Each structure stands twice: as C-alpha cells, then as structure tokens.
Structure 1
Amino acid sequence: MDREGARRRLRAVPTDDAQVQFANLHGYKRAYRMAGSGPALLLLHGIGDNSLAWEPVFNQLSEKYTVIAPDFLGHGFSDRPRADYSVPAFANGMRDLLTYLDVERVTIVGHSLGGGVAGQFAYQYPEMVERLVLVGTGGVTKDVNPALRALSLPFSEYALGVVSLPWVFSTFSAASRMLHQHLPGALFRDNNEIIRVLERMPEKGSAEVFARTLRSAVDWRGQVVTMLDRCYLSAGIPTLIIWGSDDQVIPVQHAHMLHSAMPGSQLVIFDKSGHFPFRDDPDRFVDLLLSFVASTVSANISRADVKVALRQGPSSQPLTGDAEAQMAVLDVLGSDERSAT
C-alpha cells in the first residue's frame, strides 16, 4: 500500500471525542488517545506521566493532523506487568502500536523520557519517521536533577508507595503547593506539574514501574544513556529541539549539546519556562510545531541510507554551534560510560 493510501485509511476521530482507547498487544492492554485526520503526530509523554500531559495542545493539533497520544506500558491506563521498561523497549512498543493502528509514518514529538524514546525510535525504525521534535528530552548526557538520582537507588519504590497513599499524598501536595506559593524558589520550578504526575502513583504498581523505568536510564551518578553518539544517523530527519530556559529536571545546556550534535536541527528556548514548555505556553508550542511541520519536507530514510551512514561514521557530520557546546559533546563522545545500545 502506498503512503497516501495509508494516510487515507487513518481512522478519523472527532476532535471532541479523544477518549481513551485500548489496543491489546502481546496480551497486555495499551491505552492511547487518538483524534483528527491527515498526517500522523505521535506524542510521547515523560516518566510517570500519561497521555493527558498533552491535553493543553491535543485538540488544536488534531484540527490539522491525526494525533496519537499513547500511555506507555506501565503508565496511565495501560497495563503494568513485570516487564522491560527500558527506552528501547518503549520504542518497540510504539512500533507495535503504530502497526496495530495501520500508521506507517509519523512525526514524533517526545517529552523528557518520551524524547529519549523518540530518539531511540528514529535510531531503530528510521523508515517510519518523518520528523523529530524533542522537548526537554532525556538521554543527552549525565546531568539530571538530584531527586531523580536519589529515586534510582534501591528501595525507592517503597518511599514512592508511601507518598502515594491518599492521606499522605494529600498532605504532601497541600504542603508543596503552599511552599511553592509563598517560597517559589524552595521547590521545583515545575512543582505543580510534578504533583500532577505524582497523582497517578496511587495506581497499583505505578511506583514499581516508575523505579524500574528510571533505573533503566539513570543511576546515582546520573543518566547512563546518550543519543549523542548516533545523532549522525538522524541527519536526514528534520528535527526541532524545544527546551525551557529554567528546566530544573534536565538542564538547558543539554539542548545546546543536542543541537550541536544534530547539524541542521532547529533550536527554540522558551524563556522563563521549566520542564514542561508545552504546558507553560501551549499556544506558542502549537504554533511552533505547526510551522515546523508545514515548512519541512518529510524524511524518507531507507536501509541503504543507514548502511552508508554507519560506514562513514559520525565524523561525516561535523558538530555545529558554539565552542562550549561542541566541547561538551566531544567530552561525552570520548567517555567510556556512554550508551552502547
């Protein structure tokens, strides 16, 4: 079936009817929200979050595109089996879901963990990717908030389980919001968003899934995977990088490093925004994304293209950007602790 035929067969869903739907894949329930018609946008949420993270931008995007926002396995309304919760496993799950939905090619928009999954998906299945949009993405280099390092330690799931108890969580969230209101600098810039994510923890098994997912990518020293060593393989994919200037979860310096390692990428920093720029300023985010899609030509990468790039190696794509960003990228590429997926 040709590409246009695949797009015509995408099931159109009214924009006001983006209720959760389910696909049964390998015996497990995978939740997703889908609306609109036309070329497909795949929206991937962060760790511990779910597809409703995209609620501020979902309806606007679905006016022009088929928007698919899944709940990763172990998140939201999806099942929580004892399973592999690594970044490559999530990428495989997205391949399976898209195949189930008869969607052959997508523009992938990934936030935080979802950005790492988007990058991994482009690495594993480049022929399915039209564009990449990476938002405050994980998987660039070590630096990450100390709280996430601490939560990667053994038995952290028990602490999360205690916090998620209804009476404990209500006290915790009320105290956090009061502190954030009266002492804004005392907690995360995204304090309210963190509480929103934690509100999913009362779901049975959520704390265990959070810990298993986090440990697949983070340890006490920071992130253990990076996409910088294989960015050259995505050189033919139009890429937009969006970051908040005040991101306290993953530093904005990562945006400049990623931009340096991906020649031809576009970089936009949301001033005074934190880890969730698409929620801090949804109208700007939608305008930026729509403009990016409209102004770029879909990638069309074949297996032969990947073979040529692999044989040429990363040196065929020189770094760009300022000297500081280039040196930071080179430091990561010279480390023996980088990803070897």
Structure 2
Amino acid sequence: MRVELSAGTVEYTDSGGPGPVVVLVHGLLMAGSLWDGPVADLATDHRCVVPTLPLGAHRHPMREDADLSLPGIARLLGEFLSRLDLRDVTLAGVDTGGALVQLLMADGASRVGRVVLGSCEAFDNFPPGLTGKTLVATGKLSPGLFGAFMQQMRLRAVRRLPIAFGWLTKRGDATTAEWVRPLLADAAIRRDTVRMLRAAGADPGFLLEPTERLPTFDRPVLVAWASEDRVMPLDHGKRLAALLPKGELVEVADSYTLLPLDQPAEFARLIREFTAR
C-alpha cells in the first residue's frame, strides 16, 4: 500500500482486522520488513500497520524539499498516523525507530495509547556504536561515492562486520541484505539517504531536549531491551523505564538490538500481553 504525505510517497503494509492497532517503526537503513516475524504472529488478533520511512531502504524518492532530519521524519510518522486516522495506537519502535517514537512522545502523541520501546537510541547515544558512527560518517560522501562504498554491503562477510549489521542482529542477515538494494539501484534513494545522514550527523544531540519532556507522557510504556545488546546500553533501557511515569522494563535474552529479527516470537508475545492489559 502507499500513502501520499507532505514529504512524498510512503509505502506501508496493513494486516487489517478489528483488533488493537499496532504501528511498528524501523530504524536507519532498514525497511518495514524488519517486522515481518512479529507481524506474522500478531496479525491473528491485531491490526498491524508498518510504514517504510525514508531512512535509506525506502523505494520511492522523497521530494527535494522534504525535511529528512530525524525530527522531520518523526513529524512524518505523526502525519502518517493522522492521514490513516489511526487512534489509540500501540506505537512500537526499535533502533532509530525507537528514537522517532520518543520524539512523538515528547510532543504528546495524541493518537498513541501505549508505547513499546525496543532497544534503541536514547539520551546522548547517537550515533550509536560502530554501526551508527560508520553510517553517519558515510553521509559526508557525495551520493555517488556513498553508493560505491555501500556496494560492499552486497557481501555477507561485510554485512556481518561490527561496522555494519553484525552487532545489530544475530540471525537476520537475509533481511539486512534486502535493505541495501534500493539505494544501490536508485540514485534518487542514495540522494535521500545522504541528505538524511548529513542532517543526523549535524544534530547528534537531537534527543536531549525531548528526553526532558518524556516524564509528561502519562500512558503505559513497555521498554523491551536486548540483554546482549552491544550498541544500545542496557542501562539506557533501565533509565528510560525509570523516567517514564508508567514505564516498565523487560530484558530479552539471546538477541542483539534488532529484537524483531532475533526474537520475533518473544517480541510478539510481549506486545500481545502488553496490549491485552
């Protein structure tokens, strides 16, 4: 499915159905396919809506004047919820998707009834780890050189390095291989990605001021953190849960940052139990 938003065309999937609405948000250089595993489980009794935002693995170029900063993309996510008229949403984000969710929470998120924050950027952890630092640094390249650099991601051995996806997922290499194909094939997607990375690199503290407003978010928040995460410190998950008036922390074993890839059944179970309360 597609929806026209102010920045351009955004693709999304919608499982339909009358159950509770869950909107699932991915991170940098990722697509909605991050959530295929949990959605296959949750869609039996939830309506699962999964956008692919312009974070580097999207397939439709954005408008040249689109705001591709991370706060701008968070506003685009809010526009997506409004355009589809989604209400009382359970909004879940992992990796930079969790940072986008925090930005919406700080601004009130009137259409959101509850939140799930998987392992994600928080506080001053941006760009996170070797993966984030490498990716943001490549944004300084021209789109052409960026594309040449990213050609290396065709190789599994490169994708499994700590500077790529190696410390983000234990088991999701086949999915990560798909995410790099749009920017390798389309110069306009490379242009968007470089613009997004440059904006992110210019504002590494984009979460600091919004974090101060998170204690005003009065709805339930489940903080689900990978206990073996090498990129997003577990202490940040504990701090987020303590900061939020209705926050609670659950640690997930045998997973790196991308819980939907490494532990899809467990993550689906946590969301189902959380929405059923």
- Supply the AA of the counterpart residue of 2:52: D
- Supply the AA of the counterpart residue of 2:271: L
> Could you report, residue by residue, the CA deviation over 1:30-88 in whole angstroms, capped at 9, with x for unpaired residues?
11100132321111111111111101111221211211100113542343333211232
| Residue equivalent to 2:43 | 62
Alpha carbons of 1:228 and 1:96: their partners in 2 closer, same or farther (altered >3 Å)?
closer
Q: How does 1:27-46 map to 2 (within 5 A)?
A: 28-38=8-18, 39-46=20-27
Question: Counterparts of 1:176 and 1:155 in 2: how far apart (Å)?
Answer: 19
> Could you report, residue by residue, the CA deviation over 1:142-192 in whole angstroms, capped at 9, with x for unpaired residues?
362134224323227555311334xx443xx14337x77xxxxxx536373
- Supply the AA of the counterpart residue of 1:113: T
What is the CA distance between 1:133 and its match in structure 2? 0.5
What is the CA distance between 1:194 and its match in structure 2? 5.0
Alpha carbons of 1:159 and 1:104: their partners in 2 closer, same or farther (altered >3 Å)?
same
Query: Normalized against structure 2, the TM-score is what?
Result: 0.83
Question: Percent sequence identity over matched residues?
Answer: 21
| Residue equivalent to 2:234 | 252
Q: How does 1:77-116 map to 2 (within 5 A)?
A: 77-82=59-64, 83-116=66-99
Q: How many residues are aligned here? A: 264
**1:201 aligned to 2:183?**
yes
> Could you report, residue by residue, the CA deviation over 1:194-230 in whole angstroms, capped at 9, with x for unpaired residues?
545334431423344334333434469x654234311
Aligned residue for 2:23, secondary structure, equals strand
Question: Counterparts of 2:216 and 2:42 in 1: how far apart (Å)?
Answer: 28
**1:151 aligned to 2:135?**
yes
Query: Normalized against structure 1, the TM-score is what?
Result: 0.68
Aligned residue for 1:30, secondary structure, equals strand
Query: Which structure has the bigger radius of gyration?
Result: 1
CA contact (8 A) 1:109 1:132 kept: yes
The RMSD of aligned alpha carbons is 2.8
Question: Counterparts of 1:136 and 1:110 in 2: how far apart (Å)?
Answer: 8
| Residue equivalent to 1:262 | 244
What is the CA distance between 1:27 and its match in structure 2? 7.3
Aligned residue for 2:121, secondary structure, equals coil
> Could you report, residue by residue, the CA deviation over 1:97-155 in whole angstroms, capped at 9, with x for unpaired residues?
22222323311001111111111122224321100111112242236213422432322
| Residue equivalent to 2:150 | 164
Which blocks of at least 5 consecutive residues in structure 2 are unaligned?
none
| Residue equivalent to 1:13 | none
Q: How does 1:1-341 map to 2 (within 5 A)?
A: 21-26=1-6, 28-38=8-18, 39-73=20-54, 75-82=57-64, 83-142=66-125, 144-153=128-137, 154-155=140-141, 158-165=144-151, 168-170=152-154, 173-176=155-158, 188=167, 190=169, 192=173, 195-204=177-186, 205-218=188-201, 224-226=206-208, 227-234=210-217, 236-295=218-277
CA contact (8 A) 1:228 1:258 kept: no
Alpha carbons of 1:280 and 1:81: their partners in 2 closer, same or farther (altered >3 Å)?
same
Alpha carbons of 1:249 and 1:80: their partners in 2 closer, same or farther (altered >3 Å)?
farther
